[in-house]
């Protein structure tokens, strides 16, 4: 049986060690193989691509362009191929981000990334918080509703269509914590740092979506 290929993008915006380890554990003994993407790639060779991101929106976009990952990734996404973006890996799916300066994103899911605005909140939003499911999906089912996941971020996805929101989280105000368009997913939290519920989500994405 030919193995399905999962691509894990190293956009040089944080350590990919924990997500790498989680994926390897999930696919052990199953018909999948993991390949790290560190430069230009042939998007047709990949069945799924995961992009974990930490740090700034503009930095990740700049790194992807510098590494020649940006163009094949954009083509891959425009063809509605399977993708999971984590934290900033989710945010760059938007039209633009307003972190430090306005930066054009991948333009896959309409919306923009803006800073949390509140005098009463501690920013960044850091730590455990629950998600509220808007609709079930193969990666996120009722058994994950109201469960806690680990967040670290100062910016949120805004002006997004309701149809693209799978789950919300509340921190001072409601914001999208899981988004989807076709076969493309984004999560604002870090599932690889969210213990069993986060690992369940990654497992569902790899094996069920």
pLDDT tens digits along 159-169: 999 999 999 99
- The answer, yes or no, to whether residue 143 has pLDDT greater than 90, is no
| Residue 170 is a catalytic residue | no
Task: Output the pLDDT for position 87.
Answer: 96
- Mean pLDDT over all residues of the chain? 94
Prior bond of 195 cis (ω within 30°): no
**Residue ranges per structural domain of the chain:** 4-207
| Tokens 């002006």 -> residue | 159
State the fold for domain 4-207: Rossmann fold (3.40.50)
Task: Output the pLDDT for position 77.
Answer: 98
Of 99, 112, 153, 190, which one is the catalytic site residue? Answer: 190
Which of 204, 189, 207 has its CA nearest to residue 52? 189
Q: Mean pLDDT across the stretch 130-159?
A: 93
Of 78, 98, 192, 195, which one is the catalytic site residue? Answer: 192
| Residue 98 is a catalytic residue | no
pLDDT tens digits along 5-18: 999 999 987 778 89
Of 87, 112, 125, 153, which one is the catalytic site residue? Answer: 87
| Residue 190 is a catalytic residue | yes
Count of all residues that appear for the chain in the document = 209
In angstroms, rounded to a whole number, what is the distance separating the alpha carbons of residues 165 and 180? 6
Task: Output the pLDDT for position 106.
Answer: 98
Which of 193, 192, 133 has its CA nearest to residue 165? 133
Query: DSSP readout, 74-97?
Result: HHHHHTT-EEEEEEHHHHTTSSEE
Q: What percent of the chain has pLDDT over 90?
A: 85
- The answer, yes or no, to whether residue 84 has pLDDT greater than 90, is yes
Q: Residues 158, 162, 167, 169: is their CA dihedral positive or negative?
A: positive
pLDDT tens digits along 85-125: 999 999 999 999 998 889 999 999 999 999 988 778 899 99
Q: What percent of the chain has pLDDT over 70?
A: 100
């Amino acid at each position: 049986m030919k193995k399905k290929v999962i691509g894990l993008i190293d956009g040089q915006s944080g350590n990919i060690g924990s997500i790498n380890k989680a994926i390897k554990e999930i696919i052990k003994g199953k018909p999948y193989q993991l390949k790290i993407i560190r430069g230009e790639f042939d998007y047709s060779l990949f069945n799924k691509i995961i992009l974990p991101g930490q740090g700034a929106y503009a930095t990740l976009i700049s790194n992807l362009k510098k590494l020649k990952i940006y163009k094949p990734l954009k083509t891959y996404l425009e063809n509605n191929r399977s993708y999971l973006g984590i934290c900033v890996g989710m945010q760059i799916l938007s039209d633009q981000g307003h972190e430090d300066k306005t930066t054009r994103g991948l333009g896959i899911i309409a919306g923009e990334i803006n800073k949390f605005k509140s005098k009463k909140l501690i920013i960044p939003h850091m730590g455990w918080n629950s998600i509220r499911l808007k609709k079930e999906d193969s990666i996120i089912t009722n058994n994950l509703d109201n469960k806690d996941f680990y967040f670290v971020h100062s910016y949120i996805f805004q002006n997004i269509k309701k149809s693209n929101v799978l789950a919300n989280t509340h921190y001072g105000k409601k914001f999208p914590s899981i988004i989807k368009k076709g076969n493309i997913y984004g999560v604002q939290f870090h599932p690889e740092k969210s213990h069993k519920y986060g690992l369940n989500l990654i497992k569902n994405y790899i094996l069920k979506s």
